[in-house]
Chain A
């Protein structure tokens, strides 16, 4: 699936600020950050610890609203400052997928059920959800581990299941927070390749917070944050998003 210039961007955030605490304990985590990620685009977000990467990711992920600024996802305005413009939980359910440093699989559910639950939350009937979960696991190369519990899977397999779960509801945006930090370089690269594959084949925008510079060639763009500010673009890497980045 290819993105089209007329498609609304996966993310469009304007002038986001985030201030924690107040008065003497006030910490500014985001300082007027604006970011745009197109559908089908894979963007890396780099920066030192405390730069505000995770704060930006959680703000865009609608779980930690900004103090000021506006966020639109897939062309839908969802936040104006801390004020939600839509039912955030329902919006996350339908349009967002998350992948974390740890796979964060539910320990008492099998790999298949971990993917299936994301579909059932979105009201997909159990039989169809099961079928789709198996297809996704197959797509990510872990179908043979479908009936295993998370603690019976390797770190790489767990992360693939987490990606399958993030993809389950065909989200317009996937947010990943250091998804390869717990993996060796080979497995880490495999996961990054997966994001690229998913973005380009399924047209989802992917924003990945990462410290792993070895896989930067797999991203369409790289953004860098420092002290709550975004520097963009640092450099363009590979791309397959038509009209946005050169091949």
Chain B
């Protein structure tokens, strides 16, 4: 057993408490990395999983994850006609807030292009993909819904047929996958009275126009369902997802669509980049700054503890010097204690994090790279923290032993 270990055993209580404190700080540092990784993973879960090569969105917008994008449903047919396109699907994404078991519940509604996309690509934790065009949903476990549960949304009731794990939006809201039609129904649902008022308003507007006065049949039409009026288009969708046929150049297909004046086009990589740089970047910087502060605080606390432990040993250090101990041996004693403190703190951070992080409301994803990086940081801050103690020890004169 080394000199450092003997000293630690002698001051076990204080050392253990310090190690726990350092461990908790390091756990938060680790957690910050994990939250950032979790945010990235959450943000990219749909973009990466849905398997689109290109995203066609409203002109000059950055796509449904960044802002509101509205394109007509028939855009899907136009895209299909482009040479090199193997398939095109409508995509709807929007957020709603409802109550579930008395608690507010935020849901990010995702519309899948039935029947081409039934959600087979989703990592199901339970249940099955969508099997019918309406009234079925696949919900993430974070929403607290279970297979078989019926959820009333708007005027309809939807049955949960499958659940996923870890499918949340970049904002941390659980994803719920509907067919596009159902997603639109949820998005554009209006109360009966609002519909009746809108129909009356349409009839009044038509009645005021010359066309309405000349064509009474048109007035009748204006008072009916919007879907039956040719002049009113169907509900808008958020984007059209494009799959390029094998052997075709994605860039060439993209160039063809990008020429259209009513839409903008993003590649899957571009969509990822927009998500990461646009939505996550500030959070990344904020978390990074917080992490840096915690590392500095940990270093200062470690340095003070190591310095205090060194002050307690000034007499012993003087004695060692009197006996002829080399500076390396004395510095080693302090450095070993700092490294041991850091190592124990690291293990506590890892073990405690493994227990605490899954209980966080948002996903905390710990990657091996983060563990290695933290290990490097711990070694570095242990070395830095020991400098103050070593400086003090080097200044101790051997004749101090006589005082």
Contacts and interface: CB of A to CB of B under 8 A. Distances in A.
Given A100-B401, A121-B324, A107 B329 contact: no
B10 interface: yes
Interface residues of B, number: 22
Contact of A94 (B6, B324, B401): B324
A93 B323 CA distance: 5
A109 interface: yes
Interface string B230-270: 00000000000000000000000000000000000000000
A113 B316 CA distance: 13
Interface in B275-325: 315-316, 319-325
Interface in B1-32: 3, 6-7, 9-11
A181 interface: no
B316 A106 contact: yes
Interface string B329-347: 1000000000000000000
Interface in A69-124: 89-94, 96, 98, 100, 104, 106-109, 113, 117-118, 121-122
Interface in A140-165: 149, 165
B399 A108 contact: no
Contacts of B48: none
A108 B312 CA distance: 12
B322 A63 contact: yes
B112 to A, nearest CB: 67
B323 A63 contact: no
Contacts, number: 61
Given A108-B6, A108-B7, A113-B6, A121 B401 contact: no
A119 B9 CA distance: 22
B212 interface: no
A118 B402 contact: no
Interface in B371-403: 397-399, 401-402
- Residue among B3, B315, B319 with max Cβ neighbours from chain A (10 Å): B319
A118 B329 CA distance: 12
A64 interface: yes
Contacts of A149: 10
B324 A109 contact: no
B101 interface: no
B393 to A, nearest CB: 14
A91 B329 CA distance: 17
B324 A63 contact: no
Nearest to A119: B323
Nearest to A92: B324
B378 to A, nearest CB: 25
A177 interface: yes
A58 interface: yes
A108 B399 CA distance: 21
A177 B402 contact: yes
A67 interface: no
Given A89-B326, A94-B324, A64 B399 contact: yes
B323 A92 contact: yes
Interface in A45-69: 54, 58, 61, 63-64
A100 B315 CA distance: 13
Nearest to A165: B323
A63 B398 contact: yes
A58 B323 contact: no
Contacts of B315: 104
B323 A54 contact: no
A91 B321 CA distance: 12
A104 B324 contact: no
Nearest to A177: B402
A175 to B, nearest CB: 10
Contact of B324 (A54, A64, A93, A107): A93
A91 B322 CA distance: 10
Contacts of B320: 106, 117, 121
Contacts of B326: 89, 121
Given A64-B399, A100-B401, A121-B329, A92 B322 contact: yes
Contacts of A63: 322, 397-399
Contacts of B397: 63
A90 B324 CA distance: 6
A69 B32 CA distance: 65
A113 B6 CA distance: 10
A23 B84 CA distance: 99
B312 to A, nearest CB: 10
Interface in A147-193: 149, 165, 177
Contacts of A54: 402
A117 B399 contact: no
B309 to A, nearest CB: 11
Contacts of A58: 399, 402
A243 B245 CA distance: 111
Contacts of B322: 61, 63, 92, 98
A122 B6 contact: no
A210 B319 CA distance: 21
A104 B401 contact: yes
A94 B397 CA distance: 19
A196 B6 CA distance: 34
B308 to A, nearest CB: 15
Given A54-B402, A58-B399, A104-B401, A121 B6 contact: no
Contact of B10 (A64, A98, A108, A177): A108
30 contacts: A58-B399, A61-B322, A63-B399, A64-B399, A89-B324, A89-B325, A89-B398, A92-B323, A92-B324, A92-B398, A93-B323, A93-B324, A94-B324, A98-B323, A98-B401, A107-B10, A108-B6, A108-B7, A108-B9, A108-B10, A109-B3, A109-B6, A113-B6, A117-B320, A117-B323, A118-B323, A121-B320, A121-B323, A121-B324, A149-B10
Given A63-B399, A107-B10, A108-B316, 11 more contacts: A89-B398, A90-B324, A92-B323, A100-B402, A106-B319, A107-B316, A108-B6, A108-B9, A113-B6, A121-B323, A121-B325
